[in-house]
Amino acid sequence: MKQVEFRIQTEDINRQKMIDLVSYHFSSYSIQVQLGYWIKQIENSVCFIIIATAKKRGIVEMVGRQIRDLNGQECVLITESPIKVKFI
């Protein structure tokens, strides 16, 4: 089955609550803590990297909306890229 890499990128506030939201729907994912830039401001940001089938797109978008609302943000960035996965 083809896999997709979804990324939810957002400001790093309420980190534990965001982790709880993502963990409710996905049993494994990566978290990257990073710097972001939004409207002339550098900010602490976080990226949740989720490998799943394209069928999970709706769940990823729902989680993105929940994170946006939790943090009182205008928006969060969600990207989607097809990938090849191999467990060794």
With a threshold of 0.85, does the pTM exceed it? yes
Kindly state the percentage of the chain with pLDDT values over 70.
100
- C-alpha distance across the termini of the chain, in Å: 17
Backbone torsions φ then ψ of 64, nearest 5 degrees: -60, -45
Confidence (pLDDT) at 68 = 97
E-assigned strand segments in 12-76: 30-38, 41-52
pLDDT above 90 (res 82): yes
Instruction: Return d(Cα 55, Cα 16) in angstroms, integer.
Output: 26
Nearest to 43 by CA among 17, 73, 83: 73
pLDDT per residue over 23-63, tens digit each?
Answer: 999 999 999 999 999 889 999 999 999 999 999 999 999 99
pLDDT of residue 34: 96
Considering Cα of 69, then 71, then 76, then 82, what sign does the dihedral take?
negative
**Domains in the chain, CATH or no CATH each:** 3-83 (3.30.70.120)
